[in-house]
Amino acid sequence: MAQLSADIPAEKKAMSTVGLSSPLIHSISEKGIYNITIKSGESSLLSGLNFEIVFLNASSPILNATPAKAETNVTSTDTLTTTGLTIPSVIEHVLPVKSFDMRIASIDGKDLVNKINEIPRGGRILENVNLNNYTGNITINLDNIMPDQSIDDIIKKQMNAPLNQSDVSDSVKIEAKVLNS
């Protein structure tokens, strides 16, 4: 009969998880175009830190309560005693992004991750990064955020920029904390 144990350091490391201190982090970009949201859960320490970056429209209202007439996953007919989960992602106003650069740095400024020309799909991207067992405060810098060509003119109008302006890049600096359990 096999016994599950985590007495060996390698087994303890394999069972450890890593994640950000908050599952949702929001930050408005420097030019006010994007409300950038980092969505994080726990993942195995061996697989690295997994998170999703979502580029939302900063001028859209932020959902901080269940919208009227929202559907839930309630399956019971007794609505007084059951609660369901409303998925706000169905009403997120995501902006398509052509590309961006990402740099993750430790509290002392040391580069932990540096990715150039990341290409999200439909304004979202899943990231998996190896932080080499680093835990603690980090800064996530997203630079050269370039809007998809399909919304380029809309972004220029929102910024009151001339339509012939070629650079509508944006950036954001997000503070977070990596936890290990």
Is 22 inside any structural domain? yes
Rounded Cα distance, 162 and 141, in Å:
27
Name the strands in the sheet holding 17-20, side by side, starting at the edge strand that comes first in the sequence: 43-44, 17-20, 170-180, 136-147, 97-106, 111-118
pLDDT at 80 over 70: no
pLDDT at 65 over 70: no
Is 106 inside any structural domain? yes
DSSP 60: S
Is 80 inside any structural domain? no
Query: pLDDT grade, residue 123 (50/70/90)?
Result: very high
Domain ranges, residue 52: 17-60+90-180
Q: Please report the sign of the dihedral spanned by the C-alpha atoms of residue 160, residue 163, residue 166, residue 172.
A: positive
Query: pLDDT grade, residue 4 (50/70/90)?
Result: very low
DSSP 94: B
Is 75 inside any structural domain? no
Q: What is the mean pLDDT of residues 10-39?
A: 85
pLDDT at 45 over 60: yes
* For the chain, percent of residues with pLDDT exceeding 90: 52
Report angle CA 165, 168, 170 to the nearest 5 degrees.
Answer: 160
Query: pLDDT grade, residue 28 (50/70/90)?
Result: very high
More confident of the two residues 159 and 62: 159
Total count of domains within the chain: 1
Written as one letter, the residue type at 155 is I
Is 4 inside any structural domain? no
Rounded Cα distance, 115 and 103, in Å:
6
CATH number of the domain encompassing residue 21: 2.60.40
**Whole-prediction pTM value?**
0.77
Written as one letter, the residue type at 91 is I
More confident of the two residues 62 and 112: 112
Is 78 inside any structural domain? no
Is 151 inside any structural domain? yes
Q: What is the mean pLDDT of residues 7-23?
A: 71
Q: What are the strands, taking DSSP E only, across the chain? A: 17-20, 24-28, 34-40, 43-44, 49-57, 97-106, 111-118, 124-129, 136-147, 170-180
> Collapsing DSSP states into helix, strand and coil, what is residue 156?
helix
Rounded Cα distance, 118 and 24, in Å:
21
Q: What is the mean pLDDT of residues 68-95?
A: 58
pLDDT at 160 over 50: yes
Is 171 inside any structural domain? yes
pLDDT at 103: 98
